[in-house]
Structure 1
Amino acid sequence: MNALKLFIAVLIVELMFIMATTSLFIFGLIDLPVFAIFSVLALIMLILTFTLFKLIKMIIITNRTILKIKSEKLKLKEVLRKPRKRYIVFQIVSEKTLKTEEVKSLINSLIKETFGLIGSGNINAKLISYDEHSMKGIIRCVHTYKDAVLFALALASVRTEDRINIIPLKTTGTLRKAREIVKTLSID
């Protein structure tokens, strides 16, 4: 926009120059060879101004294109960035002790029944560790689906024949912190 205003201002000045030399020639104040020289100079200035305007316009368009490409690269980096993980520390309350494989299949079936195959694939929940004696464990999931995993765990008492309750104790962002929580927390 500023380049266009500059071009118009320079064009007006050049047209005034051409009009002034023409009027001087008409009134006989300058002769034909001088008028021809001034006319050629004015024409060269017009061509240069137009060329500079086109060049500036092309530079502006190029800069805008570069900015668009950079912003699209940033968006692409965000999309391709590895999803963050959340670790849910839980404890199972049940009349019988559950083995690690039973807990793993229980959690997977709860998530698949609640959210389907595609939902469970997006959630990407995995049982990281489980202690059969204390019945505490750690589930890893994608950070955007943490609430979905908590919802599926809450449905354990409704969906199972045995009276099994999965109680989430804490959610953390690192596995080390989750292991510390498993050692310290309990619902006794």
Structure 2
Amino acid sequence: MYQTILDVIFVIWLLVITILLLTRKNVIIVKSKRKVGRNKRRYIVFRVVGQGELSPRALETSVREAVKELVGRMWLEISDPHVIFYNPSNMSGIISTNRLGYRAVLASMPLVKSVSGTEVLLVPFKTTGSLKKAKSLIRSG
């Protein structure tokens, strides 16, 4: 008997609180300032120390293998590195990656020992947030 009375009082109390909360006019809805799903890119400017002609495709394959060797296949998919620009005259290029995985790409660049049979060393020069800035760094240096 006492339990049912307590249950009825509890249900009425919950209903009153719910009605008061729903009828308030100053309900504040907080919106996130950070846009979800937006994946910002990072551009790593690098220099190649070595002899011989290299293709951007071979460089990208070597960088992807180094990332996979260092941090695994999952981080390779997260970082998704691509060589988007390579200038063979001054032996420098740009690797495009995302904000989540650029540190994994930076850490794995020294693991690239050879590209298509040619011994090389990839030296990261600068990391930028815009492709325009990365291309200007290659032109200036």
- Normalised by the length of structure 1, the TM-score is 0.57
Normalized per residue, the structure richer in strand is 2
Aligned to 1:114: 70
Structure 1, unpaired ranges of 5+? 1-52
| Residue 39 of structure 2 corresponds to residue 60 of structure 1 | no
**Which whole-Å CA distance do the structure 1 matches of 2:22 and 2:116 have between them?**
63
Counterpart among 104, 120, 135 of residue 91 in structure 2: 135
Map 1:107-186; keep pairs closer than 5 Å. Answer: 107-157=63-113, 162-185=118-141
Letter in 1 for 2:20: I
**Which whole-Å CA distance do the structure 2 matches of 1:59 and 1:81 have between them?**
36
For 1:107-151, what per-residue CA distance to the aligned partner results, in whole angstroms no more than 9, with x for missing partners? 121122222221111002111111122211001111122211110
Normalized per residue, the structure richer in helix is 1
Q: Tell me if the contact between 1:97 and 1:135 (Cα under 8 Å) persists in the aligned partners.
A: no
Structure 2, unpaired ranges of 5+? 1-14
| Residue 49 of structure 2 corresponds to residue 88 of structure 1 | no
For 1:1-32, what per-residue CA distance to the aligned partner results, in whole angstroms no more than 9, with x for missing partners? xxxxxxxxxxxxxxxxxxxxxxxxxxxxxxxx
Q: Tell me if the contact between 1:86 and 1:146 (Cα under 8 Å) persists in the aligned partners.
A: yes
Aligned to 1:74: 32
Runs of 4+ in 1 over 6 A off after TM superposition: 158-161
Larger Rg: 1
Number of residue pairs matched?
126
Letter in 2 for 1:60: L
Distance 1:101 1:91, change over 3 A: same
Q: Secondary structure at the match of 2:122?
A: strand
RMSD after superposition:
3.0
Q: Tell me if the contact between 2:75 and 2:104 (Cα under 8 Å) persists in the aligned partners.
A: no
- Normalised by the length of structure 2, the TM-score is 0.73
Deviation at 1:61, TM superposition (A): 5.3
